[in-house]
Amino acid sequence: MAVMEHSYYASFGYHVTNFFAVSSRSGTPEDLKYLVDKAHSLGLRVLMDVVHSHASNNVTDGLNGYDVGQSPQESYFHMGDRGYHKLWDSRLFNYANWEVLRFLLSNLRYWMDEFMFDGFRFDGVTSMLYHHHGINMGFTGDYKEYFSLDTDVDAVVYMMLANHLMYKLLPEATVVAEDVSGMPVLCRPVDEGGVGFDYRLAMAIPDRWIDYLKNKDDSEWSMGEIAHTLTNRRYTEKCIAYAESHDQSIVGAKTIAFLLMDKEMYTGMSDLQPASPTIDRGIALQKMIHFITMALGGDGYLNFMGNEFGHPEWIDFPREGNNWSYDKCRRQWSLVDTDHLRYKYMNAFDQAMNALDERFAFLSSSKQIVSDMNEEKKVIVFERGDLVFVFNFHPNKTYEGYKVGCDLPGKYRVALDSDALVFGGHGRVGHDVDHFTSPEGVPEVPETNYNNRPNSFKVLSPPRTCVAYYRLDEEAERLEGRAGTTGNTCPEIMDAYATAEEARWMIWQRMFLARSEGSLRGSHSIRRRPNEARCP
């Protein structure tokens, strides 16, 4: 983010003055190339936040003003009110102009060819799609809101051209649209008549969480409303889910962790003393909110830096509003690296969430079934891939023998447990317990089954916990037996776990990390795409 040159630091890079220049605040162009190369050597893909929705209003050091004296047809920007975004104080491109198309398309190719970015996140797509730019508009899903005279066809055609060009240059490119309107076929291929993006950002999700944390008591949280917000997307159009956005991370707004724990994050995060009720609730809900967002909210998961370990402060660049202070213009990375602070628990759980997807690939699965939204008990149960997830949002009720519906019969075990001691929990869920399923209802008649699921098993569900269960078969048991004989496990890590199941899970994680570390030995001096990386 904020790679393109911008004159005003506090704009966070969104008021671009030079589209072909690397922001000098973070180093030289060669430094950026080194960063991308280093990421590629680690097997990572690098996406750039590209701002083609508007341009800085500056005349002295921006693109604005170069078209003075030209006819409206030749101008880079629309004339009059149509060429000015009243909320952003910026100029709006005339996408019908051939030179604008050449300028913007060549800009994409420049960043891909010169710096080897693997794709882009397009900023402000909603503003581009409509003549009203989404200002004071509430989208209900009615197709008349999307396909009408309000639609900026020229901007839509530009985005189709941009996506077509990128896939010609780099077929494995990843392109994400920041769109809050839910425009149909935005994320379908151009040859199908779509706009061509791979993913859209599920922007309603962070708004929902912030609304709940600011305005609702725990007892008022609606399980149905949460599940609806997380699953409200069109089939076959992929979304990137995220629990908190840059709106909560910058300019004085509060992150989820800060809303939950506030000033106690400065006084109550020491692991050398018992956790206060505020800290205990805050860490528990931070883990639950992030996990259910990842598991149910989309086809990919986005996290802003520091949110994974509950950074207590926002990012605020020097600006007039804070008297040009640099005080908040940083992340305190030492917090998560300090062993006696509880930030490590949230960070460990974030790592475990990602490791869970590496092992079970639930994010890429099209199987997503919400079987239970119990408003009274504050429980949500759903299946994603072959995993079964149980979320208990109740502040104080433990459910013994809670009946959970599932698809496949067999034996289930804990795959990930937010209440594990290593994640700052209370260790109330037994990980060495086998959960055997029972058949439900009449075969092939869903309405006779339990919550429309043909099988079920019973679990212990403590308050403010989330547990993912995986089905064990003979092949999995054989592989677990092989993993249990490995000698690459650190004893101190094993000692941190209370049960044998947690130990087996950590063995697998260590094996995964060991394989990942093998790729780190690749030379960063070779310009490679991630899929071209080779382990020595």
Residue 477 pLDDT: 67
Residue 377 makes CB contacts below 8 A (sequence gap 6+) with: 392, 394, 397, 399
Residue 238 makes CB contacts below 8 A (sequence gap 6+) with: 187, 198, 199, 200, 298, 299, 300
Q: Is the pLDDT of residue 383 over 50?
A: yes
Query: Quick one: residue 397, left, alpha or beta (phi over 0 = left, psi -120 to 50 = alpha)?
Result: beta
Token digits of residue 523: 């030379």
State what percent of residues in the chain have pLDDT above 70: 86
Residue 295 makes CB contacts below 8 A (sequence gap 6+) with: 362, 382, 384, 387, 389, 468
Residue 492 pLDDT: 35
Question: Running DSSP on this structure, what letter comes out for residue 527?
Answer: -
One DSSP character per residue, 315-353 reads B--S-GGGTS--TTSS--THHHH-TTBTHHHHHHHHHHH
- What pTM, to 2 d.p., does this model score? 0.87
Token digits of residue 168: 């010609």
Q: How far apart are CA 530 and CA 533, in angstroms?
A: 5
75-111 pLDDT, tens digit per residue, is 889 988 999 999 999 999 999 999 999 999 999 999 9
Pick the residue with more confidence: 251 or 122? 122
User: Nearest 5°: phi and psi at 166?
Assistant: -65, -40
| CB contact at 8 A, 229 and 207 | no
Alpha helices in 262-299 (DSSP H): 264-267, 277-296
Q: Which residues of 288-325 are buried (b: 16+ CB within 10 A; e: fewer)?
A: bbbbbbbbbbbbbbbbbebbbbbbbbbbbbeeeebeee
Report CA 55 to chain centroid distance, whole Å: 27
Q: What is the mean pLDDT of residues 221-225?
A: 98
Pick the residue with more confidence: 162 or 235? 162
Residue 63 pLDDT: 87
Confidence bin at 202 (pLDDT 50/70/90)? very high
**Rounded (10°) angle between helices 277-296 and 223-231:** 40
Helix (H/G/I), strand (E/B), else coil: 5: strand
Q: How far apart are CA 147 and CA 133, in angstroms?
A: 14
Token digits of residue 390: 């149980």
**Candidate from 9-13, 364-368, 402-406, 497-501 with smallest mean pLDDT:** 497-501
Q: What is the mean pLDDT of residues 507-515?
A: 47
CA distances from 36 to 29, 39, 53, 211 (A): 11, 5, 24, 37
Q: What is the mean pLDDT of residues 254-283?
A: 95
Residue 496 pLDDT: 37
Told to judge if 357 belongs to the known catalytic residues of this protein, a careful annotator would answer no
Per the residue annotation, which of 67, 123, 179, 280 is the catalytic one?
123
Neighbouring-strand partners of residue 369 = 383
Task: Supply the mean pLDDT for the chain.
Answer: 87
Per the residue annotation, which of 118, 152, 178, 501 is the catalytic one?
178
Strands, sheet with 387-392, edge to edge from the N-terminal-most edge strand: 368-374, 379-384, 387-392, 465-472, 411-417, 435-436
Told to judge if 123 belongs to the known catalytic residues of this protein, a careful annotator would answer yes
One DSSP character per residue, 365-425 reads -S-EEEEEEETTTTEEEEEETTEEEEEE--SS--EEEEEEEESS-SEEEEEEETTSGGGTS
**Rounded (10°) angle between helices 474-483 and 500-519:** 70
Residue 504 makes CB contacts below 8 A (sequence gap 6+) with: 480, 483, 484
**Candidate from 2-6, 15-19, 475-479 with smallest mean pLDDT:** 475-479
Using alpha carbons, select from 434, 403, 446 the residue that is nearest to residue 499: 434
Which amino acid is present at 505? W
Using alpha carbons, select from 281, 287, 257, 285 the residue that is nearest to residue 348: 287
Q: What is the mean pLDDT of residues 511-518?
A: 45
Q: How far apart are CA 145 and CA 180, in angstroms?
A: 13
Query: Integer distance in angstroms from the first to the last C-alpha of the chain?
Result: 32
Q: What is the mean pLDDT of residues 129-152?
A: 92
Pick the residue with more confidence: 533 or 230? 230
Q: Is the pLDDT of residue 155 over 80?
A: yes
Helix (H/G/I), strand (E/B), else coil: 239: strand
Strands (E), 450-502: 455-461, 465-472
Q: Is the pLDDT of residue 531 over 70?
A: no
**Candidate from 442-446, 509-513, 521-525 with smallest mean pLDDT:** 521-525
6-63 pLDDT, tens digit per residue, is 988 778 888 999 999 999 888 899 999 999 999 999 999 999 999 999 999 998 888 8
Q: Is the pLDDT of residue 486 over 60?
A: no
Strands (E), 447-494: 455-461, 465-472
Most confident of 245-249, 465-469, 532-536: 465-469
Confidence bin at 68 (pLDDT 50/70/90)? low
Q: How far apart are CA 110 and CA 141, in angstroms?
A: 36
69-83 pLDDT, tens digit per residue, is 566 666 889 988 999
Residue with the two structure tokens 């986005």: 302
Using alpha carbons, select from 358, 347, 360 the residue that is nearest to residue 311: 347
